[in-house]
Amino acid sequence: MPPRTPEDRKIARELIRHYQPSLPALQNFLTSLQDQIRTSPNLSPYIHSLKWRTKSPKSLEGKIFRKLDDAKSANEAFDITPENLFLKINDLAGLRILHLNTDQLPYIAKGLNALFEEEIYTLFEQPTARTWDDESRAFLTGLGFKIANKPSRPSFYTSVHYVIKPSKKTEITCEIQVRTLMEEVWGEVDHLLNYPDKTRFLTCKEQLAALARATSTCSRLVDSIFRSHADLSKPKRQPKNPETSTTGQPSKPQEPEGPAPKAPKPGTPNHQ
């Protein structure tokens, strides 16, 4: 990270000073949101676990510095102010939904939309997805997610993102991420090595790329396991009753071979 100018530090201090009094409101919002998601009958059957956090002042400072660097590199004015901080940086409050297999995602998306409508949350922007995998891209596009990869920053990051507001009157926003447990494995390792500063070691970069492919393969295997289990759990078709004809009517009893047994003469005991 390049050295910081006094002006950079002044901008960061001013934004952090504006952010800190809102931390209790953000934490209350997250507590309420995670409880609504956890107890939702439309969501709980498909969710493995939840994680949530508010961004620490130190993490916010790092993000402000990175955005300052981006603005300088693009020769653009830095446009984040105390007045628009909560609208320009949408992950000050963040919640992550973890699930086991990709077939659960359509149900989670449907459940979230129902929750947003019921609790009067407003979508701040169209839900987006980031993925490097062509099959995942087609799947996510089919669900209505906008693919938001950054060509300038190629990455093996994979996740679905929602940004919501608790009401139209507040400036607070919250980012909801949805990803599989396998995607979470890669994301956590990448975060430790590449955030806030990217690793400079080529070997680690190559290993992260290999890990992304391995976790993608694991996700497909998990999908296959659940699909196989669902298919094998279906009731087996019962064979047709041999006593029933193809017309659905009881068939005529077959005639026994050989002569019919004679009835015993009257007065003659019928020995078994």
Task: Please give the structure tokens belonging to residue 270.
Answer: 């019928």
The distance from CA 7 to its chain's CA centroid, rounded to whole angstroms, is: 40
40, 115 Cβ separation under 8 angstroms: yes
pTM: 0.81
Round the CA-based radius of gyration of the chain to a whole number and report it.
31
3 state DSSP class of 116: helix
Query: What domains appear along the chain, each with residue ranges and CATH number?
Result: 6-180 (3.30.460)
**Residue 135 to residues 141, 174, 177, 182, 194: CA-CA distances in angstroms?**
10, 28, 20, 16, 26
Beta-bridged to residue 166, according to DSSP, are none
Q: Is 177 helix (H, G, I), strand (E, B) or coil?
A: strand
Do 89 and 80 form a contact (C-beta atoms < 8 A)?
yes
| Alpha helices (runs of H) in the chain, residue ranges in sequence order | 6-19, 23-39, 57-73, 85-88, 105-118, 134-142, 181-194, 202-232
Q: From CA 231, how far away is CA 172, in angstroms rounded?
A: 45
Q: Are strands 128-130 and 146-147 parallel, antiparallel or unpaired?
A: parallel
Q: How would you write the pLDDT of the chain (272 residues) with one tens digit per residue?
A: 678 999 999 999 999 999 999 999 999 999 999 999 999 999 999 999 999 999 999 999 999 999 999 999 999 999 999 999 999 999 999 999 999 999 999 999 999 999 999 988 999 999 999 998 888 889 999 999 999 876 545 578 889 999 999 876 778 899 999 999 999 999 999 999 998 788 999 999 999 999 999 999 999 999 999 999 999 999 887 766 655 545 555 555 455 454 444 444 444 444 44
User: Minimal CA–CA distance to 85: which of 65, 60, 62?
Assistant: 60
Closest CA to 148 of 165, 171, 125: 125
HSE of 40, CA atoms in CB hemisphere, 13 A:
25
What single DSSP character describes residue 244?
Answer: B
